[in-house]
């Protein structure tokens, strides 16, 4: 028996598709067979499985467990919850060798997918391609595994609360925070967490609903933070925190309603951590502000720019021994007192802890950040066969000039005006552009440079197409 996947579902960082069109139960069963076979050959025996609140998730979970069992894997079912709760179940249990979360993350309701961890490391890239190859070849181990249910949510909450150890609860008694679960899988865990946190907490949309009736659960899109911003204003809260559909990405609003973007959150976390870990390497992706890298250096840390992608970042953390990393997308990874995976609920608790230890409100910390002017993340469609080739052409032209460039992931060029970035997405047929300056005039010059490079490769300029087809 063999199984072939739709060519679009095996992505760089995870497996993802449209239910009923490119992804279904047979795919889930084959994923279980192949993942289980690979784990068995590596000496593993037991896999934790969780799922998010999407309508299709229970169906996929059932088929996945069947596939894992058929490869001889014992399965620990942790039920519905956020992706980081699955990561916790894998990282905290000595008898668990791998984990799979069924989740569509921040994608529309008709999507679903799989995020995987293999013996404590991210399962991505070549691993996913090997899974596909094994499925096509029917190269599966045969066996018969068991199934057990394991309730981990209370232990997960208790572990997150350790982030407040050493902080006087009295100093947090007046804290007022808003939280928006976006009807995603983090809702029930958030309710339990908030009930045990000091201070006053106001919760939005904690009912899990896979149709996401209130707003799309992507906290990196400002319009999705409107309800949270209104809550913070109405209740005069200190700040607000929002999550994506599976609870591994964080967004935040300060007390004045300003967005605190992913790199700005990392500035707060880094400043706090570096008071205890001088000289630590702090990693951020290539889309992050120069202000972040400068901030890390100013507080005695070693800033490291790395490739975008949560699996790539986690792997680099292990390689360098970095205790903290983050992405513009809102993935934040703590490995100082935690397990090194991305957990938005834990990041919310760490934000409370950081502000308390630094003796400043979140709003004060946000106000102290330098005023950088930047574009949104501009995404525009480019044929899959052209996207990496175009970036290669641009890198070649930049290298032949006297420009200061970093080619860690795409091309990031630094000028007197600031910097601009062009990179190919690893998950979609798009190029991603971003630019940042200290002035509007400087930003315009940087965007013009992006346009010049795109035109030289026969592509539409960003000032015409914009991130979604409209003028910037």
Distance CA 104, CA 458 (A): 34
Contact call for residues 341 and 311 (beta carbons, < 8 A)? no
Contact call for residues 257 and 224 (beta carbons, < 8 A)? no
Residues 224, 228, 234, CA angle at the centre, nearest 5°?
Answer: 140
465 annotated active-site: no
Distance CA 416, CA 446 (A): 10
Chain centroid to Cα 181, Å, comes to 15
Encoded tokens for 196: 């045990």
Q: What is the DSSP letter of 20?
A: T
Alpha helices in 321-427 (DSSP H): 344-358, 362-367, 384-399
CB neighbours of residue 311 within 10 Å: 24
DSSP calls for 305-351: EE-SSHHHHHHHHHHHT-SEEE-TTS-EEE-SSS-SSB-HHHHHHHH
Q: Which of 34, 57, 71, 105 is catalytic?
A: 105
Length of the chain: 472
Encoded tokens for 11: 């992505």
List active site positions.
Answer: 105
């Amino acid at each position: 028996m063999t199984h072939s996947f739709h060519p679009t579902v095996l992505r760089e960082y995870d497996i993802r598709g449209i239910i009923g069109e490119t992804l279904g139960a047979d795919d889930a069963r084959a994923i279980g067979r192949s993942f289980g076979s690979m784990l068995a050959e590596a000496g593993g025996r037991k896999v934790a499985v969780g799922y998010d609140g999407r309508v299709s998730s229970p169906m996929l979970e059932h088929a996945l467990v069947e596939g894992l069992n058929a490869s001889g894997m014992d399965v620990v079912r942790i039920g519905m919850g956020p992706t980081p709760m699955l990561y916790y179940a894998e990282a905290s249990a000595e008898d668990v060798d791998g984990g799979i979360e069924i989740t569509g993350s921040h994608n529309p309701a008709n999507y679903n997918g799989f995020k995987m961890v293999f013996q404590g490391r991210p399962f991505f890239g070549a691993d996913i391609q090997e899974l596909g190859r094994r499925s096509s070849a029917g190269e599966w181990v045969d066996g018969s595994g068991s199934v057990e249910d394991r309730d981990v949510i209370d232990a997960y909450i208790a572990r997150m609360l350790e982030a407040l150890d050493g902080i006087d609860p009295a100093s947090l008694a007046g804290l007022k925070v808003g939280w928006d679960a976006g009807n995603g899988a983090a809702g029930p865990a958030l309710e339990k967490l908030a009930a045990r946190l000091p201070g006053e907490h106001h919760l939005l949309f904690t009912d899990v609903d896979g149709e996401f009736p209130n707003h799309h659960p992507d906290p990196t899109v400002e319009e999705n933070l409107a309800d949270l911003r209104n809550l913070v204003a109405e209740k005069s809260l200190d700040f607000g925190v929002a999550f994506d559909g599976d609870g591994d990405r964080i967004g935040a609003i300060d007390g004045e309603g300003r967005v605190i973007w992913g790199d700005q959150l990392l500035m707060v976390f880094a400043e706090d951590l570096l008071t205890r870990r001088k000289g630590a390497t702090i990693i951020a992706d290539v889309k992050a502000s120069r202000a972040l890298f400068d901030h890390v250096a100013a507080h005695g840390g070693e800033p490291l720019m790395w490739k975008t992608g949560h699996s790539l970042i986690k792997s680099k953390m292990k390689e360098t021994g970095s205790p903290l990393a983050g992405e513009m997308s809102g993935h934040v990874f703590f490995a100082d007192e935690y397990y090194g995976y991305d957990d938005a609920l834990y990041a919310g608790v760490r934000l409370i802890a950081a502000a308390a230890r630094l003796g400043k409100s979140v709003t004060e910390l946000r106000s102290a950040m330098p005023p950088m002017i930047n574009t949104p993340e501009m995404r525009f469609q480019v044929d899959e066969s052209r996207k990496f080739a175009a970036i290669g052409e641009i890198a070649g032209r930049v290298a032949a000039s006297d420009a200061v460039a970093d080619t860690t992931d795409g091309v990031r060029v630094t000028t007197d005006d600031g910097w601009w970035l062009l990179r190919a997405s690893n998950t979609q047929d798009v190029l991603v552009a971003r630019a940042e300056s200290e002035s509007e005039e400087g930003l315009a010059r940087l965007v013009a440079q992006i346009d010049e490079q795109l035109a030289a490769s026969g592509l539409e300029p960003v000032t015409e197409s914009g991130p979604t087809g409209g003028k910037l």
